[in-house]
Structure 1
Amino acid sequence: MFKTIRQDLQAVFDRDPAATSTLEVVLTYAGFHAVLAYRFAHWLHGKGVPFVPRAISQFARWLTGIEIHPAAKIGTGFFIDHGMGVVIGETAEIGDYVTLFQGVTLGGTGKERGKRHPTLGNHVVVGAGAKILGGIKIGDNVKIGANSVVLKSVPPNSTVIGVPARIIKTEGERVPDATMDHTNIPDPIADRFAALEQELIELRKKLENPPSPS
């Protein structure tokens, strides 16, 4: 466990240019605090200790704003950047060297039992506010854009954005007509409202200018 914690600490320096010293990270980084609490709680959970692991996770949630279920499986070199609002569910599995930004949810889609949370491969990066829901699989080296909602499995070496998320790049090749512009993530609800508004405009024109009788 201590070797894993050292790798988590090193991940902060590898991926956050603002990290200047070990003391600063240990004392002030909420993401590292949450991961540290998770490692201990997960170890106790693996030993079959009742109640205490869950109590530790809830205390860490109160302290850091990050909730990680002690039963979740998380690999080495895990980094939560800023972290507030991150939620990782009970059956979630996370590979090595994964980065999550603030507001990320690895959650379920209902009251189903069994494997109901996502599995993330190695070297995955999940942007701020993204939601990955259900027992789906996210392949190695996948990048998920900010505020995306991922409901289907994603193949390795892909980039996805949108609500619901869609693949815009895979195996280094951009999907035709796809864009990676976080300031203009597709909004299907807004698009539908715009289409309805246009239909109303056309109907109003027809009512105001009815065709002359033949």
Structure 2
Amino acid sequence: MFEDIKVIKERDPAAKNYLEILFLYPGLHAVIFYRISHLLYRIKIPALGCFIMFLVRMLTGIEIHPAAKIGKRFFIDHGMGIVIGETTIIGDDVTLYQGVTLGGTGKENGKRHPTIGNNVIVGAGAKILGSFEIGDNVNIGANAVILCDVPSNATVVGIPGRIVRMNGEKVKASILNLDHVDLPDPVMKRMKDFEKEVHILIKEFKECRGNCRIEKREDI
């Protein structure tokens, strides 16, 4: 539990002290009760574990199935609307922002939720749906929808998610990049290029129309 508290102090600039984190961070409360519930699930008392997490969902807006497997130094920032499914596996040093769903498609049996590697950032509103593997050191942009495997050291944005950056160098946890918003967006870039092309066409059209008027006057 101490590691979960310490990592919040390291990653959240709004965290003033450990006492504030312990009493006022619903993401931490959800993680603490998840770890208790997961233990109950492992010792064959699943109903009690599910009931605890049901109460946690009512109090925090965070839904974590007690059967999910979550590694060390797990940080939920804000947390409202987060859903973590039953067969989800999460590695160490993972950060989730509000509105993230680690869910299934509702069609599979067995392993039907994603596997998240180490040192992964999942931006606000992102959805990872299905039994896919997300590699280590991956950044997933806000509102991205992931429907396939993602290799390590990748940056993914968009709907559906597209890899827009690959970084061959391993990102250490101590220098973890928490920027999940300021990521390259190929769709926005294409829209801006299209806007420039439209402005050029409008300019050429106006010039052409002006030349046509001059030619008509000369004919008169």
TM-score interval, normalised by the smaller of the two chains: 0.7 to 0.9
| AA in 2 matched with 1:44 | L
Alignment of 1:36-115 (within 5 A): 36-115=32-111
1:156 to 138, 152, 155: 152
| AA in 1 matched with 2:166 | T
Superposed CA deviations along residues 105-145 of structure 1, whole A, max 9, x for unmatched, are 00001232100000000000000000001000000000000
The more displaced of 45-54 and 97-106 is 45-54
Higher helix share: 2
Query: How much identity, in percent, do the aligned residues show?
Result: 58
Deviation at 1:182, TM superposition (A): 10
Superposed CA deviations along residues 45-96 of structure 1, whole A, max 9, x for unmatched, are 1111131000011100001000000000000000000000000000000000
Distance 1:140 1:58, change over 3 A: same
TM-score, reference length from structure 1: 0.79
1:126 match: 122
Superposed CA deviations along residues 8-54 of structure 1, whole A, max 9, x for unmatched, are 11110111011111111111101001101101000111111131000
In structure 1, the gaps of 5 or more residues are 174-178, 188-214
| In structure 1, C-alpha distance between the alignment counterparts of 2:56 and 2:186, rounded to whole Å | 31
2:8 match: 12
Distance 1:165 1:150, change over 3 A: same
| AA in 1 matched with 2:76 | I
TM-score, reference length from structure 2: 0.77
| In structure 2, C-alpha distance between the alignment counterparts of 1:50 and 1:98, rounded to whole Å | 25
Distance 1:113 1:164, change over 3 A: same
Alignment of 1:27-38 (within 5 A): 27-38=23-34
Distance 1:145 1:54, change over 3 A: same
1:21 match: 17
The more displaced of 93-102 and 6-15 is 6-15
| Contact kept? 1:146, 1:182, Cα under 8 Å | no
1:180 match: 184
| Contact kept? 1:7, 1:77, Cα under 8 Å | yes
The more displaced of 18-27 and 159-168 is 18-27
